[in-house]
Amino acid sequence: MNNQNKKQASQQQRLCTPAHHVMSRRELLGVTAASGLLGFGGLGGLVQPLVADELSQSDKQVLFIWIDGGMSQLESWDPKPNTKFGGPFRSIQTTLPGIRVSELMPKTAQIMHLLALDRGVTTVDNSHSAGVPRIQRGDPKDRGVIYPYFGSAVAKLMGQGKSSLPPYIWVKPGSGGFKYQDAGFLGPRYGALAIGDGQAPPNLLLPDTLSHDDNSARNRLRNFANQQYAAGRNPTFSEAQSFVFDSADALMSRQALFADPDPADVQLYGDNELGRDMLIGRKMLEAGVRFVKVNSYGWDTHGDNFNGHASLMPRFDQAFAAVVLDLQERGMLDKTLVIAMSEFGRTPRINGHVGRDHWPEAWSIAMTGTGIRRGVVIGETNKTGTFVENESHDIGDFFHTWFAALGVNSLETEYLNNGQPLPIAHDDCKPIKELLT
Amino acid sequence: MPLTFDTTETINPASQRLSAQFSPCGQYLVAGGLDGLLHRWLLSDEECEGLPDIKGHHGWVEALGFHPTETIVYSGDSWGELSCHDYADENPAAVWSIESAHDGWLRAVAVGADGSWLASCGKDHSVQCRKTKNGKIMQRLVGHETDVYSLIIHPENQSLVSGDAHGQVIVWNRKKGSVERRFDASELFLQHRLQDVGGVKCMAFSPDAKTLFVGGTRPKGGGNVQGVPLIVGFDWYSGKEVFKRELGIVSDVYVHEIQFHSNGFLMAVTSGNPGTGQLLFIDTNAVLGEGEAEKTEYPYRNNTMSNCHSISLHPDGEQFAVTTTSKGSNGNGRRLDKDGNYVGNHSPIYLMRPSNSTDKEL
């Protein structure tokens, strides 16, 4: 696929219609039927099936916090106060000696000893349309296929675990629904089930008027229809259909996941949409969901960056610190990989709208949890924060690192796409050993 | 006959400035900036002579206020420091300085008419009154629930007024140290996702001191903040809203400063998307119907200057200074100069005065 086609494919994935965002149980089932038209058949293998069996037994999970639009590294993880491009804010000491972060994240400063931070990130794209998918797919070498987002990759490589819940849930503001686009060549089964605005997918819960017996009768009819549908087709279709139905069925039995939050939790996480979604994310992890992406929008601060970050950052700070500490207190941090990142950082240069533009040259990614060394800061930008000094890391390096943290050997594990073996992360990149335990 | 103005001088500081203000004596121009420095120029008919910078601040210096009769400037920075310097000194040392006057960004300073006291405000939600002589605190006024952005003192009764990030304006009873009354300018605020957008950026009293004008934006969204520049006027005595004027389109965004010119028109500067900026003279006595504002011709409008962040009227009541940002200030990704250096922006400051002829434009 040439670059133009890749760009078009990328745009098609982003330009979804409202119909894509509404999911009912019936529609959820319909996805698998549609998947046949979308090229689902023959997909989804691994070169080493035994590896997949082993990984499926793992209890490791992922919380992927996506700060959409581009958090400013200078107003967060890599402050350069009192320098040419440093901005108005002070830096504050963290719990790590000699390590300072922006004054806008005082709560995170108090858990810095739990985190690993890379301040030497250099990536390729400086546009959202290219950057968002490229970063979340790990920017692999172009092999003529659309790679899966990290969540879909983990869903494929590690399965749904023992929870039987959907393996990839995306908690986000706005609309919910089934986002098959994330899965790329893996096929819709590995797409994201999006929880929009904290609401359960429509029609998820059984109506009161439907008795247990009637529901069982309906399921017998459904199974009969499934068998008829599967006859003469690639068995992958019916397997996918059953998988999606069972996932919906499992969610139906977890009504508590969508109950009103405990006021104490709201106070802890923040009474705003990120606090709400981070709390839902924690509940999903607690319920056993393999991969949870929590999304925050509104960070593309080309204008009024500093007043913007003055209110954005404290709300991120509260929700992020809360979930890390909450996972730790619940004994879940040791098995959960937590990542906080954007598609790029923001320019050191301050424009006339007192904003910062897109800057992939030198930014930061924070992480903690399973497999990640705690209390470590690597990577370094120069005095004014414009470029990375010494070794920089690209997103491919992080994909290798995160797979390693999850127990997936990214140097040996490969997807099998219609007989075509494909590396699961960029083959010229490698795990960042300093970030791994 | 429309107004016209000439640019008599363009000053090009090497780094970005937020605000350039004339001293009350009219002989100096002082500009705070993004580098923690106060730039100074000595003004004469022939030239603007740059003087050594006033040092000592950190972060951004946005808040400036002058003693009415002495050559003293009070300046506040984004780290919360409030300082006092003699701007006429060749190499001025701080007369006094308070490192943590506010906890964080100090946004504005206003000085009382008799020069004995000043007020400051900022990120810690407080308004503070201090003695100008030594910086000693007199009052800490609490009533805002968010960052306090702007201050003004009523020219006749010396009432202190503050405006905040949520569009609330408080008139303080300084004797009691309490809130006397409030004006609701919440049209200038929007909570968008996680972001507080807008706020009261600037205030000005009408020449007869009977109307308080507040400026900012009618926000449309956060992130890359967009909004329509907006000025709202309140009757000082009744608190009733008596004036409202939009000054452009959503990409024009903020009214950053307003001030009445001696010709009776309200001067306003706006800054929005990089490259957009306006200097406007507004007839605040004109009564406009719904939707008429966009059809109205301003007594003077100049949109050739890029991102206008402040305006300062010279004590002669005629000349003024507009602080802007260099054109082409934005851009994603790396942009290096011919020597491979990463370049920043700068802030041309335009000194302007009424034209002698009507056909001259900037």
What is the DSSP track for A208-225?
TTS-HHHHHHHHHHHHHH
What is the DSSP track for A201-265?
PTT-SPPTTS-HHHHHHHHHHHHHHHHHHHTTS-HHHHHHHHHHHHHHHHHHT-GGGGSPPPHHH
Average pLDDT, chain A: 88
Q: Which of residues 272-301 of A touch B (CB under 8 A)?
A: 272-274, 296-301
User: Which stretches of chain B score pLDDT less than 70?
Assistant: 1, 287-295, 357-362
Q: Which of A4-8, A61-65, A151-155 has the lowest mean pLDDT?
A: A4-8
Q: Are B90 and B51 in contact (CB under 8 A)?
A: yes
Whether the pLDDT of residue A3 is over 70: the answer is no
What pLDDT, on a 0 to 100 scale, did the predictor assign at position B292?
67
What pLDDT, on a 0 to 100 scale, did the predictor assign at position A32?
40
What pLDDT, on a 0 to 100 scale, did the predictor assign at position B45?
80
User: Shortest Cα distance from B20 to chain A (angstroms)?
Assistant: 16
Higher per-residue confidence, A205 vs B35: B35
Instruction: Compare all CA atoms of chain A with the CA of B62 and give the residue at the minimum distance.
Output: A88
Closest of B238, B251, B245 to residue B299, by C-alpha:
B245
CA angle B144, B150, B154 (to 5 degrees): 100
What pLDDT, on a 0 to 100 scale, did the predictor assign at position A253?
78
Instruction: Compare all CA atoms of chain A with the CA of B123 and give the residue at the minimum distance.
Output: A310
Average confidence (pLDDT) over A316-338 = 98
Give CA–CA dist A76/A107, Å, rounded.
Answer: 12
What pLDDT, on a 0 to 100 scale, did the predictor assign at position A123?
97
Burial class from Cβ neighbours inside 10 Å (0-12, 13-18, 19+) for residue B235 reads: middle
Asked casually if ipTM beats, i.e. exceeds, 0.90, the reply is yes
Sign (positive or negative) of CA dihedral B173, B179, B181, B186: positive
- State how beta strands A61-67 and A291-296 pair: parallel
Number of helical H runs and strand E runs in chain B:
0, 30
| Residue with the two structure tokens 């599967």 | A230
Average confidence (pLDDT) over A36-43 = 38
Give CA–CA dist A19/A5, Å, rounded.
Answer: 24
- Estimate to the nearest angstrom the gap between the alpha carbon of A146 and the chain centroid: 17
Q: Which residues of A290-310 are buried (b: 16+ CB within 10 A; e: fewer)?
A: bbbbbbbbbbbbbbbbbbbbb
Average confidence (pLDDT) over A284-306 = 98
Average confidence (pLDDT) over A47-71 = 88
Q: Are A350 and A356 in contact (CB under 8 A)?
A: yes
Q: Could you tell me the maximum CA-CA distance found in chain A, to the nearest angstrom?
A: 71
Question: In this complex, is the C-beta atom of A311 within 8 Å of any C-beta atom belonging to chain B?
Answer: yes
| Residue with the two structure tokens 């490969």 | A414
What pLDDT, on a 0 to 100 scale, did the predictor assign at position A6?
41
Read off the tokens for A72: 């400013």
Q: Which of residues 72-91 of A touch B (CB under 8 A)?
A: 81-82, 84-90
Domain limits of chain A?
22-69+160-168+188-205+214-299+318-331, 78-116
Give CA–CA dist A18/A264, Å, rounded.
Answer: 35
What pLDDT, on a 0 to 100 scale, did the predictor assign at position A24?
46
What pLDDT, on a 0 to 100 scale, did the predictor assign at position A236?
61
Query: Are B193 and A297 a contacting pair at CB < 8 A?
Result: yes
Average confidence (pLDDT) over A283-304 = 98
Instruction: Compare all CA atoms of chain B with the CA of A127 and give the residue at the minimum distance.
Output: B332
What pLDDT, on a 0 to 100 scale, did the predictor assign at position A11?
38
List, in order, residues 6 or more apart from A398 with CB less than 8 Å away: A118, A121, A138, A365, A432
Measuring CA to CA, how many Å separate A189 from each of A11, A34, A277, A424, B20?
A: 21, 11, 24, 18, 60
Q: Which of A81-85, A218-222, A423-427 has the lowest mean pLDDT?
A: A218-222
Closest of A343, A359, A381 to residue A302, by C-alpha:
A359
The total number of residues written for chain B in this structure? 362
Q: Most A CBs within 10 Å: which of B342, B345, B346, B347, as the mutation test of the A interface?
A: B342
Q: Are A185 and A43 in contact (CB under 8 A)?
A: yes
Q: Are A269 and A318 in contact (CB under 8 A)?
A: yes
CB nearest to A351's CB, from B194, B225, B274: B274
Whether the pLDDT of residue A307 is over 60: the answer is yes
| DSSP annotation of A436 | B
Average confidence (pLDDT) over A188-201 = 91
Average confidence (pLDDT) over A208-233 = 83
Quick one: pLDDT band at residue A27, thresholds 50, 70, 90? very low
| Residue with the two structure tokens 């900036």 | B33
Quick one: pLDDT band at residue A233, thresholds 50, 70, 90? confident
Average confidence (pLDDT) over A62-69 = 98
User: Shortest Cα distance from B147 to chain A (angstroms)?
Assistant: 10
Q: pLDDT of B242-300, one tens digit each? A: 999 999 999 999 999 999 999 999 999 999 999 999 999 999 998 666 666 666 789 99
What pLDDT, on a 0 to 100 scale, did the predictor assign at position B335?
86
- Estimate to the nearest angstrom the gap between the alpha carbon of B317 and the chain centroid: 17
Give CA–CA dist B327/B347, Å, rounded.
Answer: 9
Q: Which of A104-118, A206-220, A283-297 has the lowest mean pLDDT?
A: A206-220
What pLDDT, on a 0 to 100 scale, did the predictor assign at position B267?
98
Q: Are B304 and B252 in contact (CB under 8 A)?
A: no
